[in-house]
Amino acid sequence: MEILIEEEGDLYCVCVKIESYNTSNKKKTIVNTSNVRKALVDKGYEVGKAVQESYLHNLNGATQGTWFFEKKVEKQLDKSAEQVIIKEENPAPTKTTRRRRTKSTAKKVSSGE
């Protein structure tokens, strides 16, 4: 599997080539987005969401594909100017009375024939 990585602005363009299916070898190769993402991480690239995806399967004849990934950029959070004090509220008081069960209003009819 050959992987060619190019940087275009804030995107990574990844071109992947795999060997075509050989009947004597009978080696199937399937490449999807998760395989490409793992290969990029192993090479030291930090990638974000996939913009364009592809799917390669050498048995179907698809031996070349292109993926575009966003570069992962760390966003800086604003520093808070003042410290915030969080005041805990008192929990609601528990009910001490016991609830009574409702009595059924339907009378039982005996069948004493």
Q: How far is the C-alpha of 14 from the C-alpha of 34, rounded, in Å?
A: 13
Q: What is the pLDDT of residue 78?
A: 62
Q: CB of 35 within 8 A of CB of 94? A: no
Tokens standing for residue 33: 């987005």
Tokens standing for residue 105: 């209003």
- The pTM of this model reads 0.61
Q: What is the pLDDT of residue 109?
A: 66
pLDDT in tens, 45-61: 989 999 999 999 988 88
Query: For the chain, what is the largest distance between any 2 Cα atoms, rounded to a whole number of angstroms?
Result: 93
Average pLDDT over residues 12-20: 92
